């Protein structure tokens, strides 16, 4: 049951000519539908051939009257609009569904909402000029299709969207065995125009819903042919500044081959902050974006180039209340990537088969961006070199040194200077240098022998016993030096057999705990000397520098070369 009542009044009928059998019959009907709509018709029919021509004029017909007839196909809550048409229909009553129609129609002030009363279309004017619609020949030719001042909404939910909610659940149906092949459809529009329109995009699948509004949408195509190659051009503006340009070239019936280009200019990055929050747990707080993508699709294989140009991008502190898809120090990575003009530029290539269910274009773009940030976090100095226009910065990730030398060599100082200059060029960076040396037994034996040589050489300079012995002097002295061996034998006399190994004698003189204490004391001295040198350069503020040593347990298990590990970041970032 439709439970739909249509009220017709002010009916007027005119039959100026009536012929039965042969000749022509002419008749007209005028009536009012509801309170405002009017319908006028004029019929001319050849009674012998049954050919007819029908002129129909409809004014101010509310489209809400068709809502009951759509309920089996669409779940609509609100359907409003004002329909007008002036058309001519030519056909034959023997084949009533085969006719040719031409004329014009327009639909104004349209409102469509789904069953949840979510907006689909609000307002707008649609005008259509029909050159010839031939149902028998499957030919649809339009002089123009113009859409203006329309407000479209797309609302994405975790499991559905507002468009999908228009349709009732699909019912299983048996295939129609009697279905016959249809004629190829010809669909052409001489001029296709969309102007002064708006799209409201809402993504409720995110932790912080995204709302993006594109306005001043314009879209044009000339001589659009569904069976031919078409060129469509469009543009739009974003709220909070930013513009979009779009072109598409291809065949509607052959989407496996097409060219798509899009350019986003001067977009305020806060517009897409909810996506940054979703993937990284950071909010975008400032910045402008230029994004250009060129996509060639041949036989379903896409080859895409995406150029990203970002200016003065900034992010918030990282949110700690959830685990994002990409766990990385974004604030630091972005700061490192910025060049001296506060810009970031890079290219993202995308390739793949668009028919592959695993292929997700934007997911690839986001993953590539995420991987880039991870690489920056892992190897920051390599990217610093790119941003500052210098090579070799990746060597600054560690500063090696000789653990038994009290100071630094000239080449070690050169590397420290390079680090200081890098930090000076990026003043918001903080640096943490963590000293590592090995405290395992083999290294302690080496240090013990070094101490023995050092003390022996002091005894050789009886007149100036307090003058420090240099590292090079100690290193030059052979382990098998006769005088050194005698000195060590003297120290171990009565404590070890004279046939004991040099290692065992050294261990008696210099216990492991004593050596560890001495090495840790040297490490502390080295830390203080390094920080003092960097501060006195005048290029790095003291609060930006932390110099420390790894914990004793880590050093006991450490077997690599002695070095400082250099970690950089931005204050407040992970």
Position with higher pLDDT, 380 vs 528: 528
Query: Residue 171: helix, strand or coil by DSSP?
Result: coil
**Strand partners of residue 143:** none
Tokens 């291809």, residue located: 250
Q: Is the dihedral of CA 529, 534, 538, 541 positive or negative?
A: negative
End-to-end C-alpha distance for the chain, whole angstroms: 65
Q: What's the pLDDT tens digit per position in 211-224?
A: 999 999 999 999 99
Q: How many residues does the chain have?
A: 574
Share of the chain above pLDDT 70, in %: 91
CA distance 160 to 164: 6
**Main-chain phi, psi angles of 468, to 5 degrees:** -60, 145
CA distances from 12 to 9, 26, 182 (A): 9, 14, 41
Are 329 and 569 in contact, with CB atoms under 8 Å apart? yes
Query: Residue 311: helix, strand or coil by DSSP?
Result: strand
Tokens 């592959």, residue located: 356
Q: What's the pLDDT tens digit per position in 8-61?
A: 666 556 566 555 666 777 888 888 887 788 988 998 988 888 899 999 999 999
Name which of 57-71, 98-112, 159-173, 230-244 the model is least confident about.
159-173
Task: Give the model's confidence band at 476: pLDDT under 50 very low, under 70 low, under 90 confident, else very high.
Answer: very high
Share of the chain above pLDDT 90, in %: 64
pTM equals 0.77
CA distance 161 to 155: 5
Q: How many CB atoms lie within 10 A of CB 312?
A: 13
Does residue 468 carry a pLDDT above 90? no
Query: Residue 349: helix, strand or coil by DSSP?
Result: strand
Structure tokens at 229: 């190659």
Are 387 and 399 in contact, with CB atoms under 8 Å apart? no
Q: What's the pLDDT tens digit per position in 310-356?
A: 999 999 999 999 999 888 889 998 998 888 889 999 899 999 998 88
pLDDT of amino acid 13 = 61
Structure tokens at 396: 């600054």
With left for phi above 0 and alpha for psi between -120 and 50, is residue 505 left, alpha or beta? alpha
Task: Give the model's confidence band at 528: pLDDT under 50 very low, under 70 low, under 90 confident, else very high.
Answer: very high
- What stretches of 280-383 adopt beta strand conformation (E)? 284-298, 301-315, 343-353
């Amino acid at each position: 049951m439709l439970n739909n009542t249509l009220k017709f009044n002010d009916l007027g009928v005119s039959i100026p000519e009536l012929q039965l059998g042969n000749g022509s019959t002419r008749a007209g009907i005028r009536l009012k539908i509801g309170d405002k709509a009017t319908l006028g018709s004029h019929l001319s029919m050849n009674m012998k051939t049954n050919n007819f021509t029908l002129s129909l004029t409809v004014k101010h017909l509310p489209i809400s009257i068709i809502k009951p007839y759509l309920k089996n196909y669409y779940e609509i809550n609100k359907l409003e609009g004002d329909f007008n048409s002036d058309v001519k229909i030519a056909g034959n009553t023997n084949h009533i569904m085969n006719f040719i129609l031409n004329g014009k129609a327009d639909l104004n002030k349209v409102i469509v909402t789904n069953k949840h009363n979510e907006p689909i279309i609000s307002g707008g004017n649609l005008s259509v000029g029909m050159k010839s619609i031939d149902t028998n020949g499957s030919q649809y030719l339009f002089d123009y299709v113009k859409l203006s001042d329309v407000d479209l909404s797309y609302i994405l939910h975790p499991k559905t969207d507002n468009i999908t909610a228009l349709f009732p659940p699909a019912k299983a149906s048996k295939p129609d065995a009697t279905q016959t092949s249809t004629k190829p459809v010809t669909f052409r529009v001489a001029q296709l125009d969309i102007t002064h329109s708006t799209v409201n995009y809402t993504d409720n699948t995110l932790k912080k819903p995204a709302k993006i509004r594109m306005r001043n949408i314009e879209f044009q195509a000339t001589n659009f042919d569904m069976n031919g190659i078409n060129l469509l051009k469009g543009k739009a503006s974003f709220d909070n500044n930013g513009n979009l340009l779009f072109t598409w070239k291809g065949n509607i019936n052959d989407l496996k081959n097409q060219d798509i280009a899009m350019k986003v200019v001067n977009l305020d990055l806060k517009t897409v902050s909810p996506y940054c929050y979703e993937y990284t747990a950071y909010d975008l707080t400032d910045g402008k974006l230029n994004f250009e993508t060129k996509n060639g699709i041949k036989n379903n294989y896409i080859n895409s180039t995406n150029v990203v140009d970002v200016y003065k991008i900034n992010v918030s502190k990282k949110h700690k209340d959830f685990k994002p898809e990409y766990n990385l120090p974004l604030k630091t990575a972005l700061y490192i990537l910025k060049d001296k003009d506060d810009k970031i530029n890079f290219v993202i290539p995308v390739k793949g088969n668009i028919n592959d269910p695993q292929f997700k274009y934007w997911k690839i773009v986001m993953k590539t961006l995420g991987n880039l940030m991870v690489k920056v976090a892992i190897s920051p100095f390599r990217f610093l070199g790119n941003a500052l226009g210098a090579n070799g910065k990746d060597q600054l990730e560690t500063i090696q040194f000789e653990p038994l030398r009290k100071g630094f060599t000239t080449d070690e100082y050169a590397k420290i200077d390079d680090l200081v200059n890098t930090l000076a060029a990026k003043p918001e960076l903080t640096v943490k240098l963590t000293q590592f040396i090995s405290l395992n037994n083999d290294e302690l034996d080496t240090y013990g022998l070094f101490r023995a040589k050092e003390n022996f050489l002091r005894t050789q300079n009886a007149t100036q016993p307090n003058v420090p012995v240099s590292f090079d002097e100690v290193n030059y002295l052979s382990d098998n030096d006769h005088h050194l061996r005698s000195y060590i034998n003297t120290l171990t006399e009565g404590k070890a057999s004279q046939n004991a190994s040099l290692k065992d004698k050294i261990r008696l003189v210099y216990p492991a705990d004593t050596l560890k204490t001495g090495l840790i004391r040297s490490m502390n001295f080295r830390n203080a000397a390094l920080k003092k040198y960097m501060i006195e350069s005048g290029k790095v503020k003291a609060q930006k520098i932390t110099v420390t040593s790894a914990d004793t347990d880590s050093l006991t298990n450490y077997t690599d070369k002695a070095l400082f590990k250099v970690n950089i970041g931005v204050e407040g970032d992970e």
